Amino acid sequence: MNKTAVVRCEHFNSAHRLHNKNWSDAKNKEVFGKCNNPNFHGHNYELEVKVIGDIDPETGYVMDMKVLSDIIKAKVLDRFDHKNLNLDTVEFRDLNPTAENIAVIIFNLLKSELNANLELKIKLYETPRNYVEYPY
């Protein structure tokens, strides 16, 4: 079959603090450094959503990119853009908002919205030099 990947690039800004509440302040500072700053800090996240599937012979699409864009906006951007991930979202109330965990949460939020025969991969840039992939 003509298995092909389509990729939608999106962007959001969020604040966060990396912190393990089961650890002492000293250990948190030692492990997370500046990212443990109690008053939070922000990132410009770049998100790449890759959808893999067969090209539909009738439309010529793997999936309609407008539909994909609308799903990402509704499920991810409206939820996380210009938010404090620790304080403003239920997803990270008890989950450390590392890029790894954010990527897994985004995967789960989007997967349930996609046709079951489509494969999904998430790439999330926290800085231009650091990104995570899920699944890898």
> Which residues are marked as active site?
35, 82, 126
Token couple for 110: 């989007």
Report the first-to-last Cα separation within the chain, whole angstroms: 23
- Smallest gap from Cβ 19 to Ni ion, in A, equals 11
- Per CB under 5 A, residues contacting Ni ion are 35
With contact defined as beta carbons under 8 Å apart, do 63 and 51 qualify?
yes
- Smallest gap from Cβ 79 to Ni ion, in A, equals 18
CA distance 136 to 122: 8
Give per-residue burial for 100-113: e unless 16+ CB within 10 Å, then b.
ebbbbbbbebbeee
Of all residues in the shown chain, the one whose CB is closest to Ni ion is 35
Q: Which is nearer to Ni ion, 27 or 41 (CB)?
A: 41
- Smallest gap from Cβ 81 to Ni ion, in A, equals 16
Q: Which is nearer to Ni ion, 62 or 102 (CB)?
A: 102
Q: Which is nearer to Ni ion, 69 or 84 (CB)?
A: 84
Phi and psi at 32, nearest 5°, equal -100, -10
